[in-house]
Every structure is written in C-alpha cells, then in structure tokens.
Amino acid sequence: MIQRDATYVVMGLLDSDSIAYAIGKAIGEGGGKVIFTVQSARMKKIFFDRNKALDQEVKDALDIRFCDITQDEEIEALFADIGPIAGVVHSIAYANPKTCLGPEFHTDAYDDLKTGFHISAVSLASVTRYAVPKMPDGGAVVALSFASEIAFAYYNWMHVNKAALEATVRGLARRHGRDYVRVNAISAGPLSTKAAGAIPGFKELGSTWERMAPIPWNPETDKEEVANAALFLIGPCSRKISGQVLYVDGGASIVGGELLPHEKPGGPVPGAE
C-alpha cells in the first residue's frame, strides 16, 4: 500500500499508545522507512523512554528527531536535515484542557485559544511548507482530525481547531496540486491515548460511540484501523485523492440519534419474536 523503501516522516510520537506510533509501525511493516518526531528531548525522556510497553531493542531501533511545531526554525531544520521523502503524517494537537475543553464553552483565555489553534491547525501548513521541497516527485501529507461537523460535550474549542485543520487541508490541497503533493485528513473515532485522556469526559465519548457506530468501535484496539487508512492516504493507491476527510470511525458520523437494538450486530431480528 505504500512505496517500499521510501521514507515517511511521522510527527507526534509521545508513547506507544500514540496514533503516530501505530501509523509508524504500520509503515515499517509495509516496507517503508520512518522518521518519527517527538516534541522535545524532555517529552521523550518523560513519556517515551519510561514507557514500559516497548522493549528497549524496539525503542533503540527507531529514528526519532525532535520538533516543536510552534517553532518554525525547528520544522525547517528537521526537513533540511533529511533526504527525499514520500509523505508526512501530522498527528499533533493541543488545547489547554482547563480553559479550552470542559463543561463550559465560554472562556476568556485567548492566549490558550491561540496556542491551541497554532498547534492543532496552523502547524499543518508550516509542516507542509517545509516538507514539500523534500518531495520532488510528489507525495502526500495526512493529518488527524476528530468530529469537526458536530458538537460533543466537553470537546468545545478542539472542535473549532479540527474544523480549521480540515479547512487548512483543503487550502493546502489546492495550493500544492502543482507540486503533485496531496493533502488529506483522517477523522478517527475516539482512541485511548495521552491526548484523549486529557479530554474531560473522554470515557463518555467512548460509550457514545458504542451507541452510535454501526460497525462496533473499540477505542483500545482500533488504532490499527486508523493506521491502515493512513497508509492508503500516504501511499500510491490514493494518487488522485486530495483535500478530503476520510472518516475512520465505524460510521458513527453518519448516524442520526442512536442505533436501535435491531441495528446492532447480533441484535434482535425485527419481526422474529
């Protein structure tokens, strides 16, 4: 599904639960080379190095660079330092949970809103700008989104950031067609990661998905399904797809209300009783 032996940059590794880790692992298994980025050496030490879920051997084999996405010079240096690449995965988001997420939508924490917008949406453009020259034969950029079209409890300003991220995807797709670079997003269902754990009410979101997704969704194990979609979008099979948001959410996004018992796999057959 991907170009074997080509190099892909996967940004946003925190620990083995990160969506970035699942995508990088799948790229490696598919025969690609992976350069991961972590926000800083400090974050790596705290979250990745101490992570017991991975063997030291596996950790040592990874090519990990550092890049704080709010610092343009760090993004520029990252891409200046690597050879040609076939694609980039942007798996990064942040919003201060105390001020931007939670039971109250209204906030006067404007600096937090700006930071969240910069990290979660604008940074996709910064990354693409420096990555494109490293894709002389064309390539692909993929970002990770979540439910931008409706409003869930607690997710407040991250909904706004995700809507902006998806608009950024479309703007970049239009701008970089001339470079043969496609830009797309995956809108994933809820998955257990550090970022998700910081969202107040995340557990409720998981049970909402149980009631809404026609294809059952598992926040613990369905990262691999998101990784499969990412491989499709960064690989040659999606050569003519750009500016799109691909939903990998068990179909929850198209359901009005909640599923009735007979609509669920294994549910009662209507009229059979």
Ligand X SMILES: NC(=O)c1ccc[n+]([C@@H]2O[C@H](COP(=O)([O-])OP(=O)(O)OC[C@H]3O[C@@H](n4cnc5c(N)ncnc54)[C@H](O)[C@@H]3O)[C@@H](O)[C@H]2O)c1
Name the residues that contact ligand X, by CB under 6 A.
12-14, 18-20, 39, 43, 68-70, 91-94, 119, 144-146, 188, 190-191, 193-196
Nearest approach in angstroms of CB 12 to ligand X is: 4
117 versus 146: smaller Cβ distance to ligand X: 146
In terms of CB distance, is 94 or 154 closer to ligand X?
Answer: 94
Q: Which of 135, 94, 128, 139 is nearest to 239 (CA)?
A: 139
Measured distance CA(10)–CA(27) in Å, rounded: 9
Chain-centre distance for alpha carbon 13: 11
Residue closer to ligand X by CB (options 159, 182) is 159
We find the least distance from the C-beta atom of residue 38 to ligand X, in angstroms, to be: 6
| CA–CA distance, 64 with 57 (Å, rounded to integer) | 14
In the complex, minimum distance from the CB of residue 178 to ligand X, in angstroms, rounded to a whole number: 27
Taking 3-state DSSP, the helix, strand and coil percentages for the chain, each rounded to the nearest 5, stand at 45, 15, 40
The residues pairing with 9 across neighbouring beta strands, listed in sequence order, are 35, 88
d(CA 173, CA 241): 9
* CB 135, min distance to ligand X, A: 21
Q: Which is nearer to ligand X, 34 or 144 (CB)?
A: 144
